[in-house]
Structure 1
Amino acid sequence: MRESSWGAKVFNAANHILLLIVGIVTILPFLYVISGSLVSSEELLVKKIVLVPTNISWEAYRFIFASKIIYQSLLSTLFITVVGTFINLLLTTLMAYPLAKKTLRGRSKIMLLIVFTMLFNGGMIPTFLIVKSMGMLDTYWSLWIPSAISAFNLILLRNFFQQLPEGLEESAKIDGCNELRTLFSIVVPLSLPAMATFTLFYAVGHWNSFFSAILYINDSNMWPIQVWLRQIVMLSSGGFTDANALSEVVVPPESIKYAVIVVAAVPVLILYPFLQKHFAKGVLLGSVKG
């Protein structure tokens, strides 16, 4: 017993040290970015690496939020994220639920086609031509429809539905529920951990939407926040000029880059704690069965 107890103590101590090291390695980049966004230009010239700024300066954030365009792009991104996530969850759920039923004819062939899309796709130019031919250029539909269903998330949600007791659906049918009512009244409420997980996946994807917006949206008034943040970085580096876009404030380009990272990441960091308790559970439950 003593040897086992001693070994357990050594093992726990080693785990704590390892987790502490991993935690420090994980936190340091965030601390460096936040400090870099708050450092003054004088201190940045003296010190190349700043973890705790001596004098806090908000000039980088004032530079970013100097124009009303930023606030407009934030509202556009919020709209894109909320509506796009709703479309993703709705279509993914409506497709995953019937595929979870063993009685569905041709289920294996449909799943084969879904897996095929994970390995191969038409490419950027054919996708652009399809979006253009459907009249979705310069509309938010171009950001929603091409990525409406993620094959990976669909497979996980289908596996999650397969693990639910069949007796629940049979009881619902006896009570007179049709398939849609059974799905939204019984199956979906029981699948909240999985739904929370995919909500986070889809929402982060829409919030970080950049390349699709560059391809399909030419109207600058409709640009999401990520595109405008890129323009700000280019402006601070001298690669983009727009006299009406931002105020003429002298700010170190490095500080602006770090502030852009903070602005882009904070909303996701705020959302994550509310879904974190469901996150691991949802992914694990959906990945056990094939």
Structure 2
Amino acid sequence: MTVDNVTRLDKKLSKPTVRAVKETRAYTAFRVVNATLLVLIAAITLYPFANLAAQAFSSESYINSGQVTIWPRGFNLTTFDLVMSDSMFWRNYQNTVYYTVVATLVAMVLTTTYAYAISKYRLKGRKVFIGIAVFTMFFNGGLIPNYVLVNELGLRNTVWAIALPNAISVFNLLVMKSFFENFSTELEEAAEIDGLSTYGKLWRIVLPLSKAVIATMVLFYAVAFWNSWFAAFLYMDHRELYPVTVYLRNLIAGATSVDGAAGSSEATQIAANVKAVTMLLTVLPIVCLYPFIQRYFVSGVMLGSVKQ
């Protein structure tokens, strides 16, 4: 056998053989059924939102007769004009943005530092701190003790009444703890050799490499605080301090007409879809925010599920 033949044979043997895996009929049927079910579930889930948006732009006669499904009937912007011209709505909307930003920032700082600390096996009393956090998942003081505590601390009618009592979600804490436990120890050791302190390692090494879990936790906290209304309803005494969710709650609970309506027909139109209009305006910012965080969301919720 010549040298050329040997070389040609070696190349042929070293070349990986790629074979297409033929799908079985059973697997093909499974994929079709699975895709069909997912499409149906997505349609069922999206229908209430589509119906809400359709009612927000529909006229009163079609809404009351039940003819509105996922497309607006009798296109109407009367309620939008009235709600968006209501100064209290925009004041409450501004409060919601402020409460959400402050509460999310406080929650992320406390959750991140707590999770990073208890992720270190060398921490003395580590199991005690984890046990304290897990204990609060199942037991709490109750509504009245919490109200008395917030009142005695002088937090009522301030943003801290919303931010501090719900500053740490134990579920989010455990997810971040699991992520930090799987973080590369070699990087932290190298940073420590270079002279970084514990806070320096966290700020300059760990956090820049933890964008997925941070984005996921920000989304979880922001949505929770944005949709929260009971804490503000409980601890706020003035309408000017309410978030927009309490504004919406008051409409749903008892509003049948809106101040400033000019004429009975206009008042009837406003009463028919004012809830849909306000709900649509309330949920819109979160819907617009989600696409920018979605790429981190899938990887973030799976953090800690695979151990190395």
Same fold (TM over 0.5): yes
1:82–1:34: structure 2 CA closer, same or farther, 3 Å change rule? same
Q: Trace 1:168-179 onto structure 2 (pairs within 5 A).
A: 168-179=187-198
Q: 1:19 aligns with which of 12, 16, 38?
A: 38
Q: 1:106 aligns with which of 93, 112, 125?
A: 125
Task: Give the Cα–Cα distance (whole angstroms) in 2 for the partners of residues 278 and 69 of structure 1.
Answer: 35
Please say if residues 58 and 68 of structure 2, whose CA atoms lie closer than 8 Å, have aligned partners that are also in contact: no
Q: Trace 1:197-208 onto structure 2 (pairs within 5 A).
A: 197-208=216-227
1:265 equivalent in structure 2 = 283
The alignment covers a number of residue pairs equal to 284
Task: Give the Cα–Cα distance (whole angstroms) in 1 for the partners of residues 100 and 176 of structure 2.
Answer: 20
1:45–1:101: structure 2 CA closer, same or farther, 3 Å change rule? closer
1:280 equivalent in structure 2 = 298
Deviations 1:102-133 (A, max 9, x none): 00011111111111000000011101111111
Which amino acid is the alignment partner of residue 149 of structure 1? I
Task: Give the Cα–Cα distance (whole angstroms) in 2 for the partners of residues 156 and 2 of structure 1.
Answer: 37
1:145 equivalent in structure 2 = 164
Please say if residues 233 and 246 of structure 2, whose CA atoms lie closer than 8 Å, have aligned partners that are also in contact: yes
Task: Give the Cα–Cα distance (whole angstroms) in 2 for the partners of residues 97 and 2 of structure 1.
Answer: 44
Task: Give the Cα–Cα distance (whole angstroms) in 2 for the partners of residues 287 and 82 of structure 1.
Answer: 29
Runs of 4+ in 1 over 6 A off after TM superposition: none
Q: 1:190 aligns with which of 209, 213, 231?
A: 209
Q: Trace 1:87-126 onto structure 2 (pairs within 5 A).
A: 87-126=106-145
Question: How much does 1:48 deviate?
Answer: 4.4
Q: Trace 1:5-154 onto structure 2 (pairs within 5 A).
A: 5-154=24-173
Normalising by structure 1, report the TM-score.
Answer: 0.91
1:132–1:46: structure 2 CA closer, same or farther, 3 Å change rule? closer
Question: How much does 1:49 deviate?
Answer: 4.2
> Cα RMSD between the aligned structures?
2.0
Normalising by structure 2, report the TM-score.
Answer: 0.86
Deviations 1:116-154 (A, max 9, x none): 000000011101111111111111111111111111111
Q: Percent identity?
A: 32
Question: How much does 1:13 deviate?
Answer: 1.8
Which amino acid is the alignment partner of residue 281 of structure 2? V
Deviations 1:158-213 (A, max 9, x none): 11100101111100000110000100111111111000000001101111120000
Which amino acid is the alignment partner of residue 220 of structure 2? F
Please say if residues 76 and 224 of structure 1, whose CA atoms lie closer than 8 Å, have aligned partners that are also in contact: yes
Task: Give the Cα–Cα distance (whole angstroms) in 1 for the partners of residues 270 and 52 of structure 2.
Answer: 14
Task: Give the Cα–Cα distance (whole angstroms) in 2 for the partners of residues 206 and 142 of structure 1.
Answer: 12
Gaps spanning 5+ residues in structure 2: where? 1-19
Task: Give the Cα–Cα distance (whole angstroms) in 2 for the partners of residues 287 and 124 of structure 1.
Answer: 34
Please say if residues 216 and 293 of structure 2, whose CA atoms lie closer than 8 Å, have aligned partners that are also in contact: yes
Q: Of the two structures, which has the highest relative contact order with CA contacts closer than 8 Å and spacing of 6 or more?
A: 1
Which amino acid is the alignment partner of residue 219 of structure 1? H
Task: Give the Cα–Cα distance (whole angstroms) in 1 for the partners of residues 36 and 170 of structure 2.
Answer: 39
Which amino acid is the alignment partner of residue 222 of structure 1? L
1:142–1:165: structure 2 CA closer, same or farther, 3 Å change rule? same
Deviates more, 1:20-29 or 1:142-151: 20-29
Please say if residues 118 and 151 of structure 1, whose CA atoms lie closer than 8 Å, have aligned partners that are also in contact: yes
Q: 2:178 aligns with which of 156, 159, 170?
A: 159
